[in-house]
């Protein structure tokens, strides 16, 4: 049974990372001139190859924090929030923190380039990130209970 649960976790990590890469690819495709988005896309691709579980856990915990807004398609809340507290808590280097703030701002600005169907697709992808994180955590609880 734990083998099956580990397989579930592995699959959820892969699905999560694939979805996250798709989101960033769509963002970059809407704003191809932005080298920061291109750089983040490359960093994510490397991270997914080298340490997918680390990417999953780091990104997943942040996404999980906003799961209600994501499930309720509350994009306005995302667009209003500045995320300074989270960034400053997570990133201690001032240069890297500024990059993170700039990236969040660019993602917010890029959102306006999506048409309604594309926005719905992006929301569904974000909802999938939450689902994959929940699946992983559920399997982890079951493993711990064995």
Among the listed residues 8, 19, 11, 17, the one whose alpha carbon sits nearest the alpha carbon of residue 126: 19
* Number of domains observed in the structure of the chain: 1
Q: Kindly tell me the burial class for residue 112, based on how many C-beta atoms sit within 10 Å of its own C-beta (0-12, 13-18, 19 or more).
A: exposed
Distance CA 93, CA 78 (A): 24
Rounded to 5°, the CA angle 110-132-117 comes to 35
Task: Dump pLDDT digits (tens) for 50-92.
Answer: 999 999 998 999 899 999 999 999 998 888 988 888 888 888 8
Q: Which domain holds residue 125?
A: 2-145
Cα 9 from Cα 51, distance rounded (Å): 15
Q: Convert the pLDDT of each residue in 116-142 to its tens digit.
A: 999 999 999 999 999 999 999 999 999
pTM value > 0.85:
yes
pLDDT band of residue 11 (cuts 50, 70, 90) is very high
pLDDT of the residue at 47:
92
């Amino acid at each position: 049974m734990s083998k099956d649960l580990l397989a579930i976790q592995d699959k959820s990590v892969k699905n999560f990372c694939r979805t996250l890469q798709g989101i960033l690819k769509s963002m970059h495709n809407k704003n191809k001139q932005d080298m920061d988005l291109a750089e983040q896309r490359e960093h994510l691709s490397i991270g997914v190859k080298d340490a997918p579980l680390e990417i999953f856990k780091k990104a997943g915990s942040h996404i999980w924090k906003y799961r209600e807004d994501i499930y309720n398609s509350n994009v306005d809340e995302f667009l209003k929030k500045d995320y300074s507290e989270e960034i400053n808590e997570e990133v201690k280097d001032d240069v890297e923190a500024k990059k993170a703030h700039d990236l969040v701002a660019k993602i917010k600005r890029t959102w306006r380039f999506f048409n309604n169907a594309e926005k719905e697709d992006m929301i569904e992808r974000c909802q999938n990130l939450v689902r994959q994180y929940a699946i992983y955590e559920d399997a982890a609880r079951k493993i711990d209970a064995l």
